[in-house]
Chain A
Amino acid sequence: AQKITQTQPGMFVQEKEAVTLDCTYDTSDPSYGLFWYKQPSSGEMIFLIYQGSYDQQNATEGRYSLNFQKARKSANLVISASQLGDSAMYFCAMRLMNRDDKIIFGKGTRLHILP
Chain B
Amino acid sequence: DAGVTQSPTHLIKTRGQQVTLRCSPKSGHDTVSWYQQALGQGPQFIFQYYEEEERQRGNFPDRFSGHQFPNYSSELNVNALLLGDSALYLCASSSRQGGDEQYFGPGTRLTVT
Q: Give the interface of A toward B (CB within 8 A).
A: 4, 33, 35, 37, 42-47, 50, 52, 91, 93, 95, 97, 100-108
Contact = CB atoms under 8 A, between A and B. Distances in A.
B104 A101 contact: no
Contacts of A46: 104
A11 B78 CA distance: 36
B42 A105 contact: yes
21 contacts: A42-B106, A43-B106, A44-B104, A44-B107, A45-B43, A45-B104, A47-B101, A50-B101, A101-B55, A101-B94, A101-B102, A102-B56, A102-B58, A103-B33, A103-B43, A103-B45, A103-B102, A104-B45, A105-B43, A105-B44, A107-B42
B90 A33 contact: no
A97 to B, nearest CB: 8
B42 A102 contact: no
Contacts of A93: 42
Given A100-B56, A102-B58, A104-B45, A43 B107 contact: yes
B31 interface: yes
A50 B106 contact: no
Q: Which secondary structure dominates chain A's binding surface?
A: strand
B109 interface: yes
A70 B44 CA distance: 25
Interface residues of B, number: 26
Contacts, number: 62
Contact of A52 (B100, B104, B105): B100
B90 to A, nearest CB: 6
B88 interface: yes
Contacts of B90: 43, 45
A33 to B, nearest CB: 5
B74 interface: no
Interface in B54-113: 55-56, 58, 88, 90, 92, 94, 100-107, 109
